[in-house]
Structure 1
Amino acid sequence: MTILYIEKEKQKTLKKEILIEGIALHSGKDAAIRLKAAPADTGIIFYRSDLDKRIRLKAEPGSVVNLVRNTTIGSREIKEAKVSTVEHLMAAIWGSGIDNLEVEVSGPEIPVIDGSAYPYYQRIMDSGLKEQPQQRKVFKIEAPIYVRQHDSYITILPYAGFKISYTLDYQHPVIGSSYFEFDAEKIDFGEEIAKARTFGFAEEVEKLHKRGLALGGNLENAVLIEANKTVNPLRFENEFVRHKILDVIGDMFLNGRIMGHIIAIKSGHRLHVKLAEKIREKMLEEEN
């Protein structure tokens, strides 16, 4: 793996502070985030405003503490210092072109808004970005890295750009099998990926609620799937696979900006983060 300093691209942060409020998908409680500019070479930092001690949680694979239905980052030492459901926001930050950002969170979870990355992305783009003097740093994949679990796998291959090829395959008549390819140089993230919403099955709602999950889920922030149809209309015919690509982007951004081609088959957050961990190992080898 090679660390590239892109000569014609400068690092970017937010031009002005943004407040975003809503409800949390899993807890169902009110949630709010403040997005703030951060110095060059900071990366993406989260911290909880409701805790007595301000603990900086850097968005990186080593900070991930839970992967049940979402990606949660947290402190290994202080159990309550964690932030869950960061993946959609992380994807929006990646898509906007931001490299450095502070995210102040009012509680343990990010507000879900409409279940996609678009509301965050739109607010960031409306605020505008500020260029920083340092060159953007990109990690170029030079040899395949992969992770597999049963019939699901994800790999990253050398590629002069950033591309994700995802195959979704559910034993469910509404979802079935679908494939979509996102190439950052050719497809508009904001219009084609950011708007794809998370989805869930009506038959699972009661079970999830008993586990304290999806308590804030409703038809305004998720696509609900019944036995033979979706309860609410889709934004894209293949919205499910597009949302999976959105999740991959958010989870891969735990390592900052990467140059490579990701091929994923039936992968979820657990496999994404395992791949991110392997990429991080290679990055550290290069830095040392």
Structure 2
Amino acid sequence: MTTASLLQHTLSGPAVCAGVGVHSGQRVRLAVRPAAANAGVVFVRTDVSDRDNRIPVSAQAVTCTQLNTKISNTSGVSVSTIEHLMAALSALDVDNVIVEVDGPEVPIMDGSALPFVQLLDRAGRRTQASPRRYIEVLGAVEVADGAKRAALLPCNRFEVAFKIAFPSAVIGRQAVDLPVTERSFRDQLAGARTFGFVNEVEALRRLGLARGASLHNAIALDGDVMLNAEPLRFRDEFARHKALDAIGDLYVMGAPVIGRFETRYGGHALNNVLVRALMADPAAWRVRTLAPELAEAV
């Protein structure tokens, strides 16, 4: 734990990018701007002017977890596919930002969190005077859905362990288990891309999903064959991307985690069920700061 990680951070200046939404297929412009200490992460739909267009991120704001994480406010305004940007914010210790987006979805970029890491790097980070607050897991919380399982366990650092299994020979059974630091995220997780199966695309598009999916923003699999010309970035890229997603999904709690996240065959839906289960059990967690001289009542 570095001295800098004891304090909150925002950006030094705005960071702007544009791209297509993987599900909506719409071209979207995104701007991440500095925010005051203790503001948290707040999404703003700049294309909405007839009602409240601000969506503060929280576990309760998550309203859909079908192939992405979507947040909404009480006025029905929403933003989808926030997980890759949220993972980058979490790993780079960025606590407080305003995220402006002029469409219904965060752009997918190349399907990983790496473009968002690069975006935040270009803007730079600014240390704020308020102490950084952490979600410390005090007791085990576990949820399950059939064979799927996810748990948060006490640990003196943030760790992620993810197991997946798919019938495709390109994936098979994969597992990743590592402590999550800024360095490990940059080197081992940020570049891992999302993936999908071509035989599911038409059904997903009828549901309003995957309309912007392409070989430029996802690993496409046709049975046991990968269709992308670019090779895998990691041998176990599929499990690493699932771990990346989980980091973003956990950050909707509004603070980084001190604890161990474990899951078998999980995804966005189970991640959010687990987050809500933890929040609902006050004996299983606490908010804390890490330096006695900076401690505040919480």
Q: TM-score, normalised by structure 1?
A: 0.93
The answer (yes or no) to whether the contact 1:161–1:185 under 8 Å persists in 2 is no
Deviation >6 Å, runs of 4+ = none
Once the two structures are superposed, the pairs formed by residues 72-87 of structure 1 within 5 Å of their partners are 72-75=70-73, 77-79=74-76, 81-87=77-83
2:223 corresponds to 1:227? yes
Say whether residues 1:37 and 2:34 are aligned partners.
yes
Q: Does 1:55 align with 2:68?
A: no
Find out whether 1:22 has 2:44 as its counterpart: no
What is the distance in 2 between the residues matched to 1:230 and 1:139?
A: 39
User: Aligned partners of 2:91, 2:56: CA distance in 1, in Å?
Assistant: 19
Aligned to 2:170: 174
For residue 111 of structure 1, report the CA deviation from its aligned partner: 0.6
Residue equivalent to 1:3: none
**Within 2, Cα distance between the matches of 1:186 and 1:98?**
11
Match of 1:69 among 63, 67, 73: 67
Pick one of 219, 236, 239 that aligns with 2:237.
Answer: 239
Q: Verify the 8 A CA contact 2:26 2:103 in the aligned structure 1.
A: no
Which residue pairs with 1:147 in the alignment?
143
Q: CA deviation at 1:152?
A: 0.4
For 1:91, which of 87, 92, 96 is the aligned residue?
Answer: 87
Deviation at 1:78, TM superposition (A): 1.9
8 Å CA contact 1:158–1:261 kept in 2: the answer is yes
Query: Counterpart amino acid of 1:240?
Result: F
Q: TM-score, normalised by structure 2?
A: 0.90
1:12: how far off? 0.3
Residues 7 and 135 in structure 1, CA contact (< 8 A), matched pair in contact too: no
- Cα distance 1:8–1:275, how it changes in 2: closer, same or farther (>3 A)? closer
Q: Which amino acid aligns with 1:32?
A: R
User: Are residues 54 and 186 of structure 1, via their aligned partners in 2, closer, same or farther at CA, if it must alter by over 3 Å?
Assistant: closer
Q: How many residues align?
A: 281
* C-alpha RMSD over aligned residues: 1.8
Corresponding position: 1:11 with 2:8: yes
**Structure 1 unmatched runs, 5+:** 1-5
Q: Aligned equivalents of 1:65 and 1:55: distance in 2? A: 16
2:249 pairs with 1:251: yes
Gaps of 5+ in 2: 288-297
Amino acid at match of 2:215: L
Identity of aligned residues (%): 32
For the 8 Å contact 2:84–2:112, the answer to whether it is kept is yes
Partners in 2 of 1:59 and 1:177 — Cα distance? 33
